Amino acid sequence: MARVILASASPRRRQLLREAGIEFEVHVSGVDESHGHSSEPESVAEELARRKAMSVAASFRGQDALCLGADTVVAIPTEEGWRYLGKPADAQEARSMLSLLSGTRHAVVTGVCVIRCVDQEPYGGSERTTVVMRTISEEEIEAYVESCEWEDKAGGYAIQESADAFVIGLEGGGFDNVVGLPVDLAKRLLEAAGG
């Protein structure tokens, strides 16, 4: 199998790939993660994943390697369109995000892109999970913010840690997608690219 290069610093994505038995090395991308807020979540997540994978794959052009990029977005439907929640900059923003998510059905979409480095051919897709979150009390929000689990997490929460207590249901996609990488989709794309 070709070398697999993960274009992500995410420890959660590393763990999911290890658990899936996929050997890989890490080369972090560092691309701009800004996007058009009017787009559908799938378009946003897939474009960001493609940018990450392409920026790293360019360094391995012509080699027998597969570069895997991924990006997870958290989006709340509003009358004006989708509202995106990125990674909170500080505790106050984490507090605000959790208050916004409390009692909602929101989308968590992970885009995945695999670039075949030998010819820079991209293979991409995404998975959406609707997360049903119960109403969270102010005390619970405060305790969660103090735990610092929100740091470096899109939407300000980590379902694989104590925030699973706020979630009452997942619809249409897997738990691993909400954590940050739909493993079956990643495997299919790696296979399609020749892995």
Q: Give tens-digit pLDDT for 121-170.
A: 999 999 999 999 999 999 999 999 999 999 989 999 999 989 999 999 99
In terms of Cβ atoms closer than 10 Å to its own Cβ (0-12, 13-18, 19+), residue 149 is middle
Tokens representing 74? 């958290």
> Residue 80: pLDDT band by 50, 70, 90 thresholds?
confident
Alpha carbons 154 and 190: distance in angstroms, whole number: 25
């995410």: which residue's tokens? 10
Cα 120 from Cα 100, distance rounded (Å)? 40
Locate 168 and state its tokens: 């009452």
Task: Look up 90 and say whether it is catalytic.
Answer: no
Q: What is the pLDDT of residues 98-120, one digit of tens each?
A: 999 999 999 999 999 999 999 99
Q: Which of 32, 64, 71, 119 is catalytic?
A: 71
Between 22 and 2, the more confident residue is 22
Could you report the per-residue pLDDT of 24-78, keeping only the tens digit for each? 999 998 777 776 666 899 999 999 999 999 999 999 999 999 999 999 999 999 8
> What values do phi and psi take at 160, rounded to 5?
-80, -5
What pLDDT, on the 0 to 100 scale, is given for residue 29?
Answer: 83
Q: Is the pLDDT of residue 176 over 90?
A: yes
Q: Token digits for 69?
A: 């990029």
149: helix, strand or coil: coil
